[in-house]
């Protein structure tokens, strides 16, 4: 029986400015209804995630913090989707002007993580050289 770890420690948070900039400049983009995700492979061996809500869409800090808390919780519960896949740096951006309920955010993050997982699997499968 496999147990799932539902933690989101500091070691799995993306905080390096150079890594974030590289993710935005060279990464691939995945969009869902209210979440936009940028991701790029890393060599760290684990997925690192940054969650953000733009100030131009939500001016009040209370609203931004609420949405970030909801996104972090949704990621924490759905991080198992990426378990076993190749490691990556991921930036999740809340891109809706509406304040969506937690269930919608959770569903959208699960969709984005599923798409990222499929792309990481596809890239890792094609990166393996063929045997002669």
**Is residue 120 within 8 Å of residue 85, measured between CB atoms?**
yes
Using CA atoms, how far apart are residues 92 and 71, in angstroms rounded to an integer? 8
Structure confidence at residue 128 (pLDDT): 45
Rounded to two decimals, what is the model's pTM?
0.86
Q: How far from chain centre, in Å, is Cα 19?
A: 14
Provide the Cα torsion 31, 33, 35, 37; round to 10°: -10
- 55-99 tens-digit pLDDT: 999 999 999 999 999 999 999 999 888 887 778 999 999 999 999
Sketch out the chain's domains with CATH numbers. Answer: 36-120 (3.30.230.10)
């Amino acid at each position: 029986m496999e147990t799932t770890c539902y933690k989101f420690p500091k070691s799995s948070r993306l905080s390096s400015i150079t890594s974030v900039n590289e993710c935005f400049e060279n990464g691939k983009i995945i969009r869902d209804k209210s979440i936009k995700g940028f991701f790029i492979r890393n060599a760290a061996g684990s997925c690192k995630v940054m969650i953000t809500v733009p100030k131009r869409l939500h001016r009040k800090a209370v609203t931004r913090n609420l949405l970030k808390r909801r996104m972090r919780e949704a990621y924490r519960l759905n991080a198992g989707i990426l378990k076993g896949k190749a490691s990556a740096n991921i930036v999740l951006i809340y891109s809706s002007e509406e304040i969506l309920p937690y269930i919608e955010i959770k569903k959208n993050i699960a969709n984005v993580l599923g798409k990222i997982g499929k792309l990481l699997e596809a890239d890792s499968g094609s990166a393996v050289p063929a045997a002669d």
